[in-house]
Amino acid sequence: MTVVKHVLIGLALSLLVLNIYINSPVETSYDSLWTTHLAFSLIRSGDFDFNEYPTVSVEDYHFFVNKNNKIVSFFPVGTVLLSVPFYKWIDYNQDVRGLDMYDYLKRHSPNITASNMEQSIASSLMAISVFVVFLMSMRWLGSVFFSLLASLIFAFATPVWSVASRALWSHTGSIFLLTLSGAFLLGAEKSKKHKPLLLSLATVMVVLSYMMRPTNLVIIAAFVFYYLIKLKVRFLLLFVTAGITFGVILLVHSFAYGTPFPPYFAGSRIGISSLSVQTIAGVLVSPQRGLFIYCSWILVPLAVSLYRLIVRKILLSEVMLLGVMLMQVIVVAAFPHWWGGHSFGPRLLTETVVVAVFLVLLQLGRFLQENNRRVNKAFVAYIVALFVLGSVSTLIHYKGANSQAVWVWNVTPMNVDSNPDRLWDWNDIQFMRS
């Protein structure tokens, strides 16, 4: 009965979140502009190319590449594959009404109709992720209050609201798979009977996330490290599982692009020559893209981990998560376009924020286990700090999801891509635009 109660609470929470996401007016079909067309090409034609759409031009190099006389997407197709069941449902409902959406898309470039579908699907995927985070939190913490706190921070105090739910960005599919992977991994920590199955599922999900964001290789590497240290007996099984999953990804890429490693996944897109103190500072504290500015609540778990590291009471799992966050910051800072173009806040570090939520869960669980007066005082301070800074972050990401003005900041008074000095302008902060 208790499990049913928790599921019902999780469903109620996710439906509330979905309602807020869908009613947040900002839609940002930027990199994902042609996602709806690609999804219907896959559903109706069984391929990943755009050749059937007269309005597509391969000369639009931002979106398309030419592979073997086929016009294919420059961006990863992983999130598109995740969204196909939703688009299939839309296609069926339109067909029942006597409308042919595929024919409509052939006659129209991306427009508000396609954008609305995309935002609804992205909002649904993120609402499901919130549901997963809540159930994962309940499994780990056993407290409705703290599970709701972690879930609400994930849902509203991060780019999950301001970016990933606004359109089918590659981050959208990445977050969905990473939350599932984290849920399976934490579930394996609590279950002996189903541990091999849960670890295998966690492995499949985290490897599939590479298909959405190649930078997720950092998280995959952390999984390998964790498995080697803690799961020596089962490492071979999980290594084979990861190998098979990665092989499937390469096959899909070969079918879609004619090569197992598409241009978006090229290692040359990042380089040590682009990495500097300034770019690291940019992704952490710049007024327009700084992780600590837009998600200041992250400073709370980082401070706790730093203290535990100093007093040598830090857990291996905490070290792993901190390592993932550090490496993701370095990878993004090594990208010449580290600010992520026309976006809002630390978009390129969206996955890092998800990892930080997992870190909060681990620390909450440890606080609840350590029951003494000194720890309880620290626990109260921890919760208060999370609540206060989480509330500030929520207000910021509210602007990202509800105000077009903060997105127009990217092009007014000058295009930020042509004038990256604007990223450091404290007199014209993006989330303060109205």
pLDDT of 153 reads 98
The tokens of 216 are what? Answer: 């997720």
pLDDT of 42 reads 95
The tokens of 124 are what? Answer: 């649904």
pLDDT of 95 reads 72
pLDDT of 307 reads 92
**pLDDT tens-digit series, residues 332-365:** 999 999 999 999 999 999 999 999 999 999 999 9
C-alpha span between 91 and 414 (Å, rounded): 40
pTM over 0.85: yes
pLDDT tens digit at each of 434 positions of the chain: 588 999 999 999 999 999 999 999 999 999 999 999 999 999 999 999 999 999 888 777 678 888 888 899 999 999 999 999 999 999 988 875 778 899 999 999 999 999 999 999 999 999 999 999 999 999 999 999 999 999 999 999 999 999 999 999 999 999 999 999 999 988 887 777 888 888 899 999 999 999 999 999 999 988 888 877 776 657 778 889 999 999 999 999 999 998 998 888 887 777 777 889 999 999 999 999 999 999 999 999 999 999 999 998 888 889 989 999 999 999 999 999 999 999 999 999 999 999 999 999 999 999 888 766 666 888 999 999 999 999 999 999 999 999 999 999 999 999 999 999 999 999 999 999 98
Q: In Å, how far from its chain's centre is CA 282?
A: 20
C-alpha span between 158 and 349 (Å, rounded): 10
The full 3-state SS of the chain, as one line of letters, equals: CHHHHHHHHHHHHHHHHHHHHHHCCCCCCCCCCCHHHHHHHHHHHCCCECCCCCCCCCCCCCCEEEECCEEEECCCCHHHHHHHHHHHHHHHHHHHCCCCHHHHHHHCCCCHHHHHHHHHHHHHHHHHHHHHHHHHHHHHHCCHHHHHHHHHHHHHCCHHHHHHCCCCCHHHHHHHHHHHHHHHHHHHHHCCCCHHHHHHHHHHHHHHHHHCCHHHHHHHHHHHHHHHHHCCCCHHHHHHHHHHHHHHHHHHHHHHHCCCCCHHHCHHHCCHHHCCHHHHHHHHHCCCCCHHHHCHHHHHHHHHHHHHHHCCCCCHHHHHHHHHHHHHHHHHHCCCCCCCCCCCCCHHHHHHHHHHHHHHHHHHHHHHHCCCHHHHHHHHHHHHHHHHHHHHHHHHHHHHHHCHHHHHCCCCCCCCCCCHHHHHCCCCCHHHCC
88 burial via Cβ count (<10 Å: 0-12, 13-18, 19+)? middle
The tokens of 214 are what? Answer: 């190649």
**pLDDT tens-digit series, residues 48-91:** 999 999 988 877 767 888 888 889 999 999 999 999 999 999 99
pLDDT of 373 reads 60
pLDDT of 233 reads 55
